[in-house]
Amino acid sequence: MSNTKQTKRLTPGSRETLLTILETLPDAFFVVDDAETIMYANASAQAITGAPPEECLGNRFWHYAPQLVSPSLYQAMRRTRQTKEPNEVEYWSPMTRNWLHAQLTPTVGGLTLQFHQMRAPAPRQETFPQCERLCINDLDGLHTRIGILTPEGIVLDINAVPLDDAQVRREEVIGKPLAETPWWSFAPASQERLRAAIARASRGETVRFEALVRPREGMLLSFESVITPHLDANHHVEYLVIAGIDITARKRAERDIHALIDAIPQLVWTGRPDGYVDSYNQRWRDYTGLSTEEAQGEGWMQCTHPQDRQRVLETWQRAVQNGEPYETEQRLRHGATGEYRWFLMQATPYTDAQGTILKYVGTCTDIHDKKRAEAELRSLVDAIPQFVWIMRPDGSAEYANPRWCDYTDMTSQQYQGDGWLQAIHPDDRQRVLAGWQSAVQAGRPYEAEQRLRNGTTGDYRWFLARGAPFKDAQGTILKYFGTTTDIDEQKQAEQRIKASEENWRVLAETVPQMVWTTRPNGQHEYINQRWCDYMGVTVEHMQSDRWAPLSFIHPDDREGTRALWQHALETGDMYEHEERFRNSQTGAYRWFLARAMPVRNDTGQIVKWFGTITDIDDQKRTEEALRQSQERASVLMNSSIIGINIIEGEQIVDANDTFLRMTGYTHEDLREGRMNWLHMTPPDYLARTQQAHQELATQQSTTYEKEYVCKDGSRLPVLVCGVVFQHHPRQAIAFVLDNSARKELEQRKDDFISVASHELRNPLAALKMQIQLVQKRLERQSHHEAATALTRVEGPVKQLERLIEELLDVSKIQAGRLEYVRETVDLDAMLHEVAETMQQLSTTHAIVVHGAAPRSLVGDKDRLGQVFTNLISNAIKYSPGAETVEMDLSTSEETVTVRVCDHGLGIPREQRDKIFERFYRASGPRQKAIPGLGMGLYIVAEIVKRHEGTITVDSTVGKGSTFTVTLPKKRDA
């Protein structure tokens, strides 16, 4: 029967008839096009599917009639379409739970399907081999989820497990695209993944993929799914079998592991047994900036340094092939900075109980800094100015740095083994080897000084070799690591120090001081002999106790010494203290200056104290004397009676308060240099003052009277004593006494004398006249006896008259009013006249004149006569027992000299200058007994001075005196 031909013959009119027939058919009848879209379904079909025909028209057959779907039917439909031949199939419908017999007839652009329910399958030949007849229910016992899909992904069959998961009936999913079933439809991502996998599988590829499915609300499972295409004889994909394994537990465990791995602060990765790297932890991804997808498989090569790629890959592949642990060092690029850092890559295979490798777990440890440090260390070792070496305990050399090679001019082959010994001085070799062996035996560090030969110059220099043993856990020495340092200069310096130490000792023993050294704690080490002798102790005694010297110190100084020395030891401050030490021989204490300084090493640590003790006793005494004299000087300076000033040049550079008070100047005037003695001296005292200053140049000290012009212009009479400083001759000190009181007194005395002499002269003149008148009257009356008696009054009256004349002269001299007559004086005649007059008056002495002065001179004859009258009168008066007074006249070209010589009492030396002073009388008892007023020589000297002559005295006490008057011969009129 050919349905196709029948259909083609239908007329439009008969179409209704046909439809009626179809509607009344007891079997379900479908017409589908090539796309398996339902074009027609009769009432029975509707009864089976349970849906009205208008709903099923235009829908896909598989979707609309899940009760009828079966892979057998699907296969039959494919075959009918391919062969264009009618076909039939019988199969068990799990949904309708009965056997169905389906007849398939091709049509133009489609086919018809007619289903007939059966009680049991007809016993006949299978449509397709048993093996291909899928009876999925056989798999229901498995936990595997299995489904059969069209190449488009429509569910043809499915086993019970997934239906239970989703709690759906089979007919709810059969005929629907698997992607739209509850398991997959919940998430577009899962759907997409499934669709992609189905698409690949429908092209003939077995597709394996993992995905999340959600069979029902609240149930989320991880599936590892495999879609296997089933090919027909023509190698076309007939249908697909999808099998899903629940890997939720594994995934969770993996997630946990990955969370754990992610938390590890190292870079971690995992690889499959075949070497496919399949996961990286967060750290790894953060570091490389690559995602797991990008780095999967051999994707990690991207972040591996190009120079390392080949080597690392080969190592990895070798490890995987041999199932061995993997370890290598490689550079990994930092995703953000692009920098490469060194990592140690390690991976360990993770096996099951049978030893089958399940996984590789790998770590990447950042060893960049270590690598760099190693590199730096290497360059450091190469750069350090020392020799660095590694030796084996047997004394064979393993390594020596380039410095060693350069110095010794040895190659690494040459120094290896015991070759290094050749560089050591032959004299040192034995000792060095012995030292080495004993260090190794005792497991101690090795240290030796040795001379090493400079391979280029052949010279030897001293070196210090030091090595430390490197031991394993059991304490066995594996190697010695060591350095060798050039100590040649140090050695030489030591030699020099040794020599200088000897020099130092000689020095310390010869200096005129006490010298000692102590340890940093103050313990004495060395004390020179001088110090031991002074204290009367031995060095050993001093070394026994660091406070030993205290017992030799004056009790009053001990505490201070102890405290200061303690302080110095604690702080390292320099020690300096004056203290008294007892001399062991005399028992007396003398002052010493003790000083100590710390001697430090290169690191600033005190290694010893070095001290000296200097005798300053004399100095102290001098200081004390000086202090006392300074005190006295300052007392003097502060004297309120004596004014003191210090002059330098014309300037008064210092003055005490008394002097300032006297003169009215202030300290400020003094500081500002406003005190100038020249300006402070009135013109009439200038000559005397300058003279006094000149005198100072020769005699260091002079006393004179003067006046100062005070600041307010008033004048102050003073008595000045000037003294020149011995050590500072440009400076002089002047002691100034206020002389005003005395001067005032003198003035009053002068005034009195002046008045008295005048007052006495007039009555005396009247008296004299009266006597003469009485005398004459007596003569006339011939009372000769009375007249003669009266003549005796003449002498005393004359004496009185002379006295008053002298007083008047003195007062005139004082007032500067003594007048002189200028006349030519015949000196010879005048002197003889004087001598004669005096001879007449003297009854006791003979006045003898020697020589002559035959020249005249200009002067006041009376006054000159007064000079010699006075001198002869004194000569007679002060030579009571003598008989002669000599006058000696002599001349020279320029001068006339008159000497008046007596043989009397003489004048003591110290009084000789003073006798020319006003009212001065020599103080001897015999002189005192002789009447006089001390005016004569004063007037004499004044008169001689006014005649530009000089008067001097030469005398021997008890033998007599000679007064010498020298006068210039001619004086201009």
Dihedral over Cα of 539, 540, 543, 544: its sign: negative
CB of 960 to ligand ADP, least distance (A): 7
The secondary structure element, H or E, covering residue 446 is strand 446-453
Asked if 810 touches ligand ADP (CB under 6 A), the answer is no
CB of 896 to ligand ADP, least distance (A): 21
Q: Which amino acid is at 489?
A: E
**DSSP conformational letter for 675:** -
Using the rule CB under 6 A, which residue among 905, 943, 965, 967 binds ligand ADP? 905
What's the burial of 941, exposed, middle or buried (CB within 10 Å: 0-12/13-18/19+)?
buried
Options 465-473, 782-790, 818-826, 904-912: segment touching ligand ADP (CB under 6 A): 904-912
The secondary structure element, H or E, covering residue 611 is strand 606-615
Angle, helix 794-815 to helix 740-780, in steps of 10 degrees:
150
Angle, helix 861-877 to helix 827-841, in steps of 10 degrees:
40
CB of 900 to ligand ADP, least distance (A): 8
Which residue's CB is nearer to ligand ADP, number 572 or number 934? 934
Options 50-58, 389-397, 717-725, 871-879: segment touching ligand ADP (CB under 6 A): 871-879
CB of 639 to ligand ADP, least distance (A): 36
The secondary structure element, H or E, covering residue 197 is helix 188-201
Options 410-418, 644-652, 820-828, 899-907: segment touching ligand ADP (CB under 6 A): 899-907
Using the rule CB under 6 A, which residue among 423, 915, 941, 965 binds ligand ADP? 915
Neighbours of 443 (CB within 10 A): 12
| CB-CB contact of 110 with 126 (8 Å) | no
Which residue's CB is nearer to ligand ADP, number 549 or number 904? 904
The residue sitting closest to ligand ADP, measured at its beta carbon, is 932
Which residue's CB is nearer to ligand ADP, number 465 or number 835? 835
| CB-CB contact of 285 with 299 (8 Å) | no
Distance CA 956, CA 358 (A): 152
Which residue's CB is nearer to ligand ADP, number 313 or number 957? 957
| CB-CB contact of 89 with 104 (8 Å) | yes
Which residue's CB is nearer to ligand ADP, number 331 or number 921? 921
Which residue's CB is nearer to ligand ADP, number 417 or number 932? 932
CB of 780 to ligand ADP, least distance (A): 39
> Which residues fall within 8 angstroms of residue 570, CB to CB, at 6 or more apart?
none
Q: Which amino acid is at 394?
A: D
Which residue's CB is nearer to ligand ADP, number 655 or number 922? 922
H helix runs in 226-305, sequence order = 248-263, 282-288, 292-295
Options 202-210, 621-629, 847-855, 897-905: segment touching ligand ADP (CB under 6 A): 897-905
Which residue's CB is nearer to ligand ADP, number 775 or number 961? 961
Can you read off the two tokens belonging to residue 72?
Answer: 């057998």
Using the rule CB under 6 A, which residue among 874, 899, 903, 967 binds ligand ADP? 874
Which residue's CB is nearer to ligand ADP, number 452 or number 937? 937
- Determine the size of the site formed for ligand ADP (CB under 6 A): 19
Which residue's CB is nearer to ligand ADP, number 308 or number 806? 806
From residue 920 to residue 959, the character string flagging contacts with ligand ADP as x (rule: CB under 6 A) and all else as - is -xx----x----xxxxxxx---------------------
| CB-CB contact of 948 with 968 (8 Å) | yes
Q: Which of 690, 685, 686, 754 is nearest to 722 (CA)?
A: 690
> Which residues fall within 8 angstroms of residue 876, CB to CB, at 6 or more apart?
838, 842, 844, 845, 885, 902
Using the rule CB under 6 A, which residue among 184, 316, 531, 878 binds ligand ADP? 878
Using the rule CB under 6 A, which residue among 902, 903, 943, 951 binds ligand ADP? 902
From residue 199 to residue 238, the character string flagging contacts with ligand ADP as x (rule: CB under 6 A) and all else as - is ----------------------------------------
| CB-CB contact of 810 with 918 (8 Å) | yes
CB of 644 to ligand ADP, least distance (A): 36
Distance CA 545, CA 538 (A): 12
Using the rule CB under 6 A, which residue among 898, 907, 941, 965 binds ligand ADP? 907
CB of 818 to ligand ADP, least distance (A): 16
Can you read off the two tokens belonging to residue 816?
Answer: 């500067």
Using the rule CB under 6 A, which residue among 465, 875, 889, 951 binds ligand ADP? 875
CB of 902 to ligand ADP, least distance (A): 5
CB of 924 to ligand ADP, least distance (A): 7
CB of 864 to ligand ADP, least distance (A): 16
Options 63-71, 428-436, 484-492, 919-927: segment touching ligand ADP (CB under 6 A): 919-927
Distance CA 287, CA 282 (A): 8
Dihedral over Cα of 733, 737, 739, 742: its sign: negative
Can you read off the two tokens belonging to residue 527?
Answer: 């004390």
Can you read off the two tokens belonging to residue 711?
Answer: 């600041």
Neighbours of 480 (CB within 10 A): 22
CB of 923 to ligand ADP, least distance (A): 8
Distance CA 894, CA 413 (A): 123
- DSSP E strands in 616-763: the ranges are 642-648, 651-655, 701-709, 715-724, 731-738
CB of 933 to ligand ADP, least distance (A): 5
| Binding residues vs ligand ADP (CB under 6 A) | 874-875, 878, 902, 904-905, 907, 915, 921-922, 927, 932-938, 961
